[in-house]
Structure 1
Amino acid sequence: MRVRTLTQLTAGFLLTSAIAATPAAAQKAAAKTDFHQWAPTPPMGWNSWDCYGPTVTEAEVKANADYMAANLKSSGWEYVVVDIRWYVGNDTAHGYNEKNPDWNLDAYGRFVPAPNRFPSAAGGKGFKPLADYLHAKGLKFGIHIMRGVPVVAVQRKLPILGSKATAADIYSKEGQAGWLRDMYTVVAGQPGAQEYYNSLFQLYASWGVDFVKVDDLSSPYHKPEVEMIRRAIDRSGRKIVLSTSPGETPIAEAKHVAAHANMWRTVGDFWDSWEQLKEHFEVCNRWSPHIQPGAYPDADMLPLGRIGIRAERGDDRMSRFTPDEQYTLMSLWSIFRSPLMFGGDLPSNDAFTLSLLTNKEVLAMHSSSINNRQLFRQDNLIAWTADDPKTGDKFLALFNAQDQELAPASEAAWASAVITRQTPGHSQPVDVDITGARTLYLNVRDGGDDIAWDHADWLSPVLSNGSKTVSLSSMPWKSASAGWGNVTANKSVSGADLLVAGRKYEQGIGTHSNSMIAYELPAGFTRLQATAGLDNAGAAQNTGGTVQFLVFTQNPFRPMPADSVRIPVALTQLGLMGPCTVRDLWTGKTTRGVSGEFAPYVRRHGAKLYRISVAKK
């Protein structure tokens, strides 16, 4: 581990601290202003995470900002957010460098931008030059931070600006994130604790930061630190929008979080997985009563366009979502009024992706609609509605979330219990009689929580016939799909070693829920033996993943549902009477004289989005 020396940094940061001293009048004015007014509509912007993970550079941030200013600003997009670990000079793609991180922090234990990645930050300037660059384009600047005080600041007993305490006086190891151990919990009430957070946001205000995403704050919910952060922002004298992450934020804390933050996560990290997208219907329905001006449940980022360039998950790719699924994503996020944070590399955008981001009628609904709610759900046919407060028109979103159904666990040849990190050894032995089977299906299903870190491993899988054994991981599969990433032989789904409960396995199959791997079996094998385990990558994440493993020897897939189905809606369900005019917001097509019932066809995994007006007499 290499840390910038204090002599290298102190001079520049004493200057920064002097600049950061906020006039008392500005502080009082900010404290009197309701922070909800700082985000009167759901924030819209770009975030570096889905493209670049913890390795984004200043040049890449500027390139995305330039594109936003030229192509998206006129549609309401304004925030440019630098995500995690901008203070590490040698971080790694597809994960984090926790072996020898090149930390950059100032004399008061506050992380500062790595100058090799952000050259304009050299000489103690911090992010101010980059923020100035964005502000000159009419955009706003945001950063990501981790909750807490840096471990390295505690180890070095660095002083806290505005306090006689040091970092070593305000920390606790309790509650430390298991997935990234950069920070310790700040103990509310300890002398210096509030001053530490005050010093952070005083620094960010001096840089010109407009938006801060605070990670490891929502699930579990760290109420004391939420409150300290709110006080620190209000004291800073700058209107900094606060986003808490990741979720699901406990719904029991909905009132509290809405009183302290502008947006808060409702799910864990969301990627280009249909299974994850489908889960949002239930989540958004649960959170829709809590939408209010300046305080928004956050369904997480838009993993659209080109993503995965140097990201945590997957390789450089265009979003795996089909066009139908992308319409579903944008329609649900918009009628739910989630903040819209685009994850793709903007300069790599294609025309279709740009069209999703610049549809004026959809964005107008997202910005100003009210009474946003689920109208009905009939199995996997779903309707949402909202009102236009100016015209009285109704918005209607229709979703066909039907899937090819799987056989229940009761029909499997073998099924595990739900495996979590509370399961002894994070695993369960597999021993299945497969006599007479010609096809083998290995299925992993989500255990039913909201956690997306369900990395699962089939470890040391062996076929046997009493005298002969064959490693299943050495055989080619007939087909393989995973809920996230790609099924991988002899590696975890993230490409790392197969690790379960700290033990490394040389042979196995790495996958993720929900996944299905099919094999054509040679004749004569009678048993499958293996270990089914929750991979360390899942177990280490906050509350951990939950998975169930199943083995089928008969085709578990039910017949495919129809490609398109009608979803009927009685206009009276929307409170409308008489002939109506229906406008398709995605295509721009208008249909007049609709009465009684409106029943369009909606493609599987697709969506339709309409404005419905009572016809003028």
Structure 2
Amino acid sequence: MNNHTLARLATSLLLGSAATIGPAASQKATSPDFHQWALTPPMGWNSWDCYGPTVVEAEVKANADYMAKNLKSSGWDYVVVDIRWYVGNDTAHGYNEKNPDFAIDAYGRFVPAVNRFPSAAGGKGFKPLADYMHAKGLKFGIHIMRGVPVVAVQRKLPILGSKATAADIYSKEGQAGWLHDMYTVVAGRPGAQEYYNSLFKLYASWGVDFVKVDDLSSPYHKPEVEMIRKAIDLSGRKIVLSTSPGETPIAEAKHVAAHANMWRTVGDFWDSWEQLKEHFDVCNRWSAYIQPGAFPDADMLPLGRLGIRAERGDDRMTRFTRDEQYTLMSLWSIFRSPLMFGGDLPSNDAFTLSLLTNKDVLAMHHSSTSNRQLFRKDNLIAWTADDPKTGDKFLALFNAQDQELAPVNEAAWSSSVITRQTPGQSQAVNVDITGATKLYLNVREGGDDIAWDHADWLNPVLSNGSKSVFLSSMPWKTATAGWGTVTANRSVSGADLIVAGKKYDQGIGTHSNSMIEYDLPAGFTRFQATAGLDNAGAAQNTGGTMQFLVFTKNPFRPLPADSVKVPVTLAQLGLTGSCTVRDMWTGKTTSGVAGEFAPYVRRHGARLFRISKGKK
């Protein structure tokens, strides 16, 4: 057997035993098999991509109303309120950690802020909102952070069902670097399991159907994963568990599959082609672990209208082109990732709705098997899956070709790879630009994908010996970033420019992979700056490796063709003779296909087919 088959067999045996031994060895044989609660990948809406930590009840209901009317019949049914629903005065484009107005009960459990969720008044919690969803045939979910609230520890609030207080079960070790609401719960301490038990008993009483637990996957907090699993199983309610954010260590694949219904394989995913392209490797890495009730999660669908009050970017329709949106939906569907729509549903246009309601694509997503990459030839990629009922084959073809850049040795200047371990997390830039009419500032990922590659060009100055000017005060001609938006005098996350603890007033915030192009005024002979890893990247547990380059000549190679053939022989799919091919996005059917099948695929685009063996 190959590694793919062995991994799939091992995971299958693991999940097949869950009904008899339970999802954790410490649980009784009568524990419920939580995998049965989500046998197919969950599909729904999450408030994060459009409302960040500030969504209010009316907005949640508006999205639920749209789902009930337009998407429920296609299988979409979860409505999830994301982060910090317990803060009455949170802010868009970043969290309010200066003076958060926490809503918390007497037992150290966060409850909904009633100014944002009026139906929670009188101690009702989220039950009225969950009831609203259930009345429409929908399911209700919430986001929580791993751990026990810092404010509960400070107040020494009691733990329901225990003589311990919050101050008895916590540790500062492992606290999230990006949000400081919680401390780690130390497994084994008196009151630790009881705390999680009390949380999920509360959520069960509200009627919660889905809980996304953040700061759990990367790094992987195994003891708290196990406590959460046990607490859900003791709650008396079938609550689907999603762990976040990734990438979950693949070495923990068996463990997470035995404890959660879905787990993240990436960090936060936005409407970035760079991030989308990285998913081909990610999905290939995780495809062996797709099983009923346990799904690798490629993260949300940043489609439709985004950024209304989100962490990243302004109010916009998705930056993905239509070709890229087909790529996204085709890959997520054939990979069988959970589908959580991130845009504001009532703002959908007809095209976005068509992506979410295609019956052929959703049927494949719902019930296909043996989902895997068939081949990758440079950036031409094929995935396949089986229809277990008919024996048909599904085939997804992708053209991920990009315009290539000049190699590092052609740059006028290049840094070493800058990481969190680089002294000062930065490097000085000093480039002779005599006679140049163009300047290209390029940031490339350092070999470990673009996650948390927040890059800053600090105090960027053009000079000629007697005169100098900040480049950050000049307009660029074009500017791209792999995540977010290139910003003058702010980091790409919208915060201050901070590198190695020092704040800079002048600079350009970006994110690998990035290219910023300038038309240079005449007469300048030198470019100087500091190239650094921004604090937003340096503070994370993973990521933050990049290389800075300066070009004075066009670094772009010629564009590849707009469309190319991606040939597949039917024998590669295990098919012989004449076949019928149906384009699952357009509905067009072609009969009598034999031997080789070689459709054109647009750059950044995808084609998705169902192939049926011809009748004799």
**2:471 corresponds to which residue?**
472
Indicate if the aligned counterparts of 1:30 and 1:239 stay in contact, CA closer than 8 A. Answer: no
**1:16 corresponds to which residue?**
none
**2:521 corresponds to which residue?**
522
Moved more, 482-491 or 255-264: 482-491
**1:64 corresponds to which residue?**
63
Indicate if the aligned counterparts of 2:144 and 2:211 stay in contact, CA closer than 8 A. Answer: yes
**Deviation of 1:450 (Å):** 4.5
**1:379 corresponds to which residue?**
378
**2:270 corresponds to which residue?**
271
**2:142 corresponds to which residue?**
143
Indicate if the aligned counterparts of 1:445 and 1:514 stay in contact, CA closer than 8 A. Answer: yes
Q: Distance in 1 between matches of 2:521 and 2:121?
A: 63
What is the 5 A alignment of 1:83-122?
Answer: 83-122=82-121
**1:538 corresponds to which residue?**
537
**1:133 corresponds to which residue?**
132
**Deviation of 1:538 (Å):** 2.0
The amino acid across from 2:455 in the alignment is: A
Q: Distance in 2 between matches of 1:206 and 1:123?
A: 15
Moved more, 375-384 or 455-464: 455-464
SS in 2 for 1:577: coil
SS in 1 for 2:156: coil
SS in 1 for 2:53: coil
What is the 5 A alignment of 1:4-403?
Answer: 32-403=31-402
1:130-186 CA distance string (max 9 Å, x none): 000000100000000000000000000000011111000000000000000000000
Indicate if the aligned counterparts of 1:267 and 1:450 stay in contact, CA closer than 8 A. Answer: no
The list of structure 1 runs, each at least 4 consecutive aligned residues, that deviate by more than 4 angstroms after superposition, is: 28-31
Q: Distance in 1 between matches of 2:439 and 2:484?
A: 21
Q: Distance in 1 between matches of 2:527 and 2:286?
A: 44
Moved more, 488-497 or 327-336: 488-497
1:94-139 CA distance string (max 9 Å, x none): 1100000000010000000000000000111000000000001000
**2:500 corresponds to which residue?**
501
Q: Distance in 1 between matches of 2:472 and 2:605?
A: 36
**1:5 corresponds to which residue?**
none
SS in 1 for 2:308: coil
Q: Distance in 2 between matches of 1:542 and 1:178?
A: 8
Q: Distance in 2 between matches of 1:199 and 1:471?
A: 56
1:27-76 CA distance string (max 9 Å, x none): x9995321100001000000000010000001000000000000000000
Indicate if the aligned counterparts of 1:464 and 1:526 stay in contact, CA closer than 8 A. Answer: yes
1:355-414 CA distance string (max 9 Å, x none): 000000000000000000000000000000000000000000000000001112222111
Q: Distance in 2 between matches of 1:314 and 1:513?
A: 16
**Deviation of 1:504 (Å):** 1.3
Q: Distance in 1 between matches of 2:470 and 2:354?
A: 49
Q: Distance in 2 between matches of 1:522 and 1:60?
A: 49
**Deviation of 1:441 (Å):** 0.4
**2:447 corresponds to which residue?**
448
Q: 1:441 to 1:416 in 2, by over 3 A?
A: same
Indicate if the aligned counterparts of 1:464 and 1:528 stay in contact, CA closer than 8 A. Answer: yes
SS in 2 for 1:54: helix
SS in 2 for 1:203: helix
Indicate if the aligned counterparts of 1:169 and 1:192 stay in contact, CA closer than 8 A. Answer: yes
Q: Distance in 1 between matches of 2:468 and 2:312?
A: 34
Indicate if the aligned counterparts of 2:93 and 2:494 stay in contact, CA closer than 8 A. Answer: no
The amino acid across from 2:392 in the alignment is: D
Q: Distance in 1 between matches of 2:448 and 2:59?
A: 35
**2:555 corresponds to which residue?**
556
Q: 1:88 to 1:208 in 2, by over 3 A?
A: same
Q: Distance in 1 between matches of 2:318 and 2:49?
A: 10
The amino acid across from 1:338 in the alignment is: S
**Deviation of 1:426 (Å):** 1.8
1:277-326 CA distance string (max 9 Å, x none): 00000000000001011000000000000010000000000000000000
1:471-519 CA distance string (max 9 Å, x none): 2112222221122222222222233221112211111111111111111
Q: Distance in 2 between matches of 1:95 and 1:380?
A: 35
Indicate if the aligned counterparts of 2:450 and 2:512 stay in contact, CA closer than 8 A. Answer: no
**Deviation of 1:451 (Å):** 5.5
Q: Distance in 2 between matches of 1:422 and 1:242?
A: 35
Indicate if the aligned counterparts of 2:448 and 2:543 stay in contact, CA closer than 8 A. Answer: no
Structure 2 regions of 5+ residues with no counterpart? 1-26
Q: Please report the TM-score for the alignment, with normalisation by the length of structure 1.
A: 0.94
**1:547 corresponds to which residue?**
546
SS in 2 for 1:267: coil
**Deviation of 1:350 (Å):** 0.4
The amino acid across from 1:34 in the alignment is: D
SS in 2 for 1:32: coil
Indicate if the aligned counterparts of 1:31 and 1:235 stay in contact, CA closer than 8 A. Answer: no
1:488 aligns with 2:487: yes
Q: Distance in 2 between matches of 1:127 and 1:450?
A: 38
Structure 1 regions of 5+ residues with no counterpart? 1-27
Q: Distance in 2 between matches of 1:420 and 1:177?
A: 20
Moved more, 443-452 or 346-355: 443-452
**Deviation of 1:226 (Å):** 0.3
Moved more, 82-91 or 499-508: 499-508
Residue-pair matches, total: 590
**1:580 corresponds to which residue?**
579
**Deviation of 1:462 (Å):** 1.1
Q: Distance in 1 between matches of 2:479 and 2:327?
A: 25
**Deviation of 1:544 (Å):** 4.7
**1:435 corresponds to which residue?**
434
The amino acid across from 2:108 in the alignment is: G
Q: 1:31 to 1:448 in 2, by over 3 A?
A: farther
Q: Distance in 2 between matches of 1:316 and 1:550?
A: 31
Q: Distance in 1 between matches of 2:475 and 2:120?
A: 51
The amino acid across from 2:52 in the alignment is: G
Q: Distance in 2 between matches of 1:166 and 1:560?
A: 63
Q: Distance in 2 between matches of 1:143 and 1:47?
A: 9
**2:6 corresponds to which residue?**
none
Q: Distance in 2 between matches of 1:291 and 1:389?
A: 15
**Deviation of 1:523 (Å):** 3.0
Q: Distance in 2 between matches of 1:129 and 1:471?
A: 55
Percent sequence identity over aligned pairs: 88
The amino acid across from 1:89 in the alignment is: G
Indicate if the aligned counterparts of 1:457 and 1:509 stay in contact, CA closer than 8 A. Answer: yes
Provide the aligned C-alpha RMSD in A: 1.3
Q: 1:569 to 1:118 in 2, by over 3 A?
A: same
**Deviation of 1:419 (Å):** 1.7
The amino acid across from 1:280 in the alignment is: H
The amino acid across from 1:538 in the alignment is: G
**1:610 corresponds to which residue?**
609
